[in-house]
Amino acid sequence: MGTDTTILWTTDLNTGIEVIDGQHMRIVDYINLLGDAIQQHNRASVGTVLNELVDYTLSHFSFEECLQEESGYRNAKTHKAVHELFIKRLGRYMEKHHAGEDVAQQLHAMLSTWLIQHIKRDDMDYITEVKAKINHIVKNKNEGNWLSRALGKFFA
């Protein structure tokens, strides 16, 4: 059930950190569901998908910021600021949607473009610094580590 605006996951979007790639793929799924709801002209479904998308994206951002902080990523504050600007932008679209304005197609286009650019530019920048530490923790499967706690906190 796709549209001509369906986002297809391509290997150039892989960060090499499985947990992050999985979260990004889920956000792509939500954006594609939004596209489907728009195609069906189903405002109620659009609202439901938007709420789920926003909730999941906020959890992803929090997780990613925690990961960067714990790994000592040098640009963690800048990356968080990018997330905060996006959240404000998204909030303006959500306000318009809740006020009855039909902004779903504009929002879908913005989300699609922003996500791909953010992964390729901003997220790929932190990968080198964070990847080794994350993969070491995951490989050792230390249940009490900060990554396990963060996963439980944000995605339980």
> Residue 116 has what pLDDT?
95
CA-to-CA distance for 133 and 113, rounded, in angstroms?
30
Please report the sign of the dihedral spanned by the C-alpha atoms of residue 116, residue 131, residue 23, residue 151: negative
In a domain, 49, yes or no: yes
> Residue 1 has what pLDDT?
40
> Residue 153 has what pLDDT?
61
CA-to-CA distance for 121 and 124, rounded, in angstroms?
6
Domain membership of residue 53 as a residue range: 17-155
In a domain, 9, yes or no: no
What is the CATH classification number for the domain harbouring 89? 1.20.120.50
Residues 6+ apart with CB under 8 A from 25: 9
> Residue 131 has what pLDDT?
82
SS3 114: helix
Q: From first to last of the 156 residues of the chain, give the pLDDT tens digit.
A: 444 679 999 999 999 888 899 999 999 999 999 999 999 999 999 999 999 999 999 999 999 998 898 888 999 999 999 999 999 999 999 999 999 999 999 999 999 999 999 999 999 999 988 887 766 666 665 556 666 666 666 554
> Residue 138 has what pLDDT?
61
Q: What's the number of domains the chain is made of?
A: 1
Asked if 1 contacts 36 with a C-beta cutoff of 8 angstroms, the reply is yes
